[in-house]
């Protein structure tokens, strides 16, 4: 069980939980909260995140991207804690569990949600799997921004209110940017080893300075979006700025540290994301 918990990478779960919380808050404020849809949206998002983590663990090992030179946390397959076959079945079963959830949400919100759900699963697999993995081509940042941003937030609101709102899409980009920042930490930390194994993330393609700027911009643009939403909805939305201030020292360490020293920033950035979603949700209600 310890090994499977390690492979699930629990500290990445805020990326799945945060946008659903925001989507629920927007739906609730509009008088459209639907508890069963909210539950399945949350459960489905968590399963997709864990399934993606299992798939990454498996495909990175198969592709030779996880080596003994990795500076990040232990990968279960590479470390021999879980066999490749078991990890393969783990991500297949986890994604299979999402299918009935997609079915219910499509029953609730219409057939387009089947496409969204299937696209989320396929993207989770193709992130590190397939002949041209998204993460190996430097497309991981776009994938995270879109699927952990407006797709998750607006999708969560839609299955409850049965309508798309401009505010949910904008709020989705805000949370998606912080999720992207989590990925940036990972890519900057692993830049040298990724380059060695041919994993061409943005850090490998454009260098450390580029992704450090990207990390800082993720916070700055999130702040701008939050400030704008406060002008069209409620000044209380500015409460979400306070968690972003926690990002200032993290930004400093991103510019002054490298390699394994950056690893704590993964958890710290994830904390900012979950706190942002909580403060944003409270502010949206007020």
**Whether the Cβ atoms of residue 27 and residue 37 lie closer than 8 Å to each other:** no
**pLDDT in the model for residue 214:** 97
Q: C-alpha distances in angstroms, 125 versus 28, 105, 265?
A: 32, 21, 25
| For range 90-119, the mean pLDDT | 95
User: What is the topology classification, in CATH, of domain 2-285?
Assistant: Farnesyl Diphosphate Synthase (1.10.600)
**Whether the Cβ atoms of residue 21 and residue 243 lie closer than 8 Å to each other:** no
**pLDDT in the model for residue 67:** 61
How is residue 74 annotated by DSSP? Answer: P
d(C-alpha 53, C-alpha 51), whole Å: 5
Quick check: 73 pLDDT over 80? no
The domain locations on the chain are 2-285
**pLDDT in the model for residue 167:** 95
**Whether the Cβ atoms of residue 152 and residue 19 lie closer than 8 Å to each other:** yes
Residues 6 or more apart whose CB falls under 8 angstroms from that of 130 comprise: none
**pLDDT in the model for residue 194:** 87
**pLDDT in the model for residue 11:** 85
Instruction: Look at residue 35 and give its three-state secondary structure.
Output: helix
| For range 90-103, the mean pLDDT | 97
**Alpha-helical regions (H) of 127-162:** 140-147, 150-161
Read off the pLDDT of residues 31-71 as tens digits, 9 standing for 90 and up: 999 999 999 999 999 999 999 999 999 998 888 766 665 66
**pLDDT in the model for residue 71:** 62
Query: What's the pTM?
Result: 0.92
**Whether the Cβ atoms of residue 226 and residue 237 lie closer than 8 Å to each other:** yes
φ, ψ at 233 (rounded to 5°): -125, -70
Chain mean position to CA 221: 17
| For range 233-249, the mean pLDDT | 95
**pLDDT in the model for residue 69:** 59
User: Among 66-75, 94-103, 214-223, which is the least confidently predicted range?
Assistant: 66-75
Read off the pLDDT of residues 132-178 as tens digits, 9 standing for 90 and up: 888 888 899 999 999 999 999 999 999 999 998 999 999 999 999 99
d(C-alpha 13, C-alpha 19), whole Å: 11
d(C-alpha 224, C-alpha 221), whole Å: 5
What mean pLDDT, rounded, does the chain reach?
A: 93
Read off the pLDDT of residues 253-278 as tens digits, 9 standing for 90 and up: 999 998 889 999 999 999 999 999 99
């Amino acid at each position: 069980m310890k090994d499977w918990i390690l492979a699930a990478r629990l500290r990445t779960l805020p990326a799945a939980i945060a946008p659903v919380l925001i989507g629920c808050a927007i739906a609730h404020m509009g008088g459209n909260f639907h508890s069963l849809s909210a539950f399945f949206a949350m459960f489905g998002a968590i399963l997709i995140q864990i399934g993606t983590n299992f798939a990454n663990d498996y495909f990175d090992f198969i592709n030779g991207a996880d080596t003994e030179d990795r500076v990040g946390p232990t990968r279960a397959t590479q470390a021999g804690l879980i066999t490749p076959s078991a990890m393969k079945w783990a991500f297949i079963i986890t994604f299979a569990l999402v299918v009935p959830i997609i079915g219910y949400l499509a029953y609730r919100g219409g057939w387009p949600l089947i496409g969204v759900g299937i696209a989320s699963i396929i993207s989770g697999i193709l992130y590190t799997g397939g002949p041209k993995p998204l993460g190996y081509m430097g497309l991981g940042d776009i994938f995270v921004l879109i699927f952990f941003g407006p797709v998750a937030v607006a999708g969560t609101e839609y299955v409850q209110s049965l309508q798309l709102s401009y505010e949910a899409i904008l709020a989705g980009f805000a949370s998606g940017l912080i999720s992207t920042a989590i990925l940036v930490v990972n890519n900057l930390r692993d830049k040298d080893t990724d380059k060695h194994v041919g994993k061409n993330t943005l850090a490998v393609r454009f260098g450390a300075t580029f992704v450090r700027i990207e990390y800082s911009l993720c916070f700055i643009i999130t702040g701008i979006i939050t400030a704008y939403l406060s002008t069209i909805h409620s000044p209380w939305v500015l409460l979400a700025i306070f968690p972003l201030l926690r990002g200032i020292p993290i930004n400093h360490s991103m510019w002054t540290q490298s390699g394994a020293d950056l690893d704590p920033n993964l958890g710290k950035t994830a904390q900012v994301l979950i706190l942002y979603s909580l403060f944003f949700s409270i502010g949206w209600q007020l």
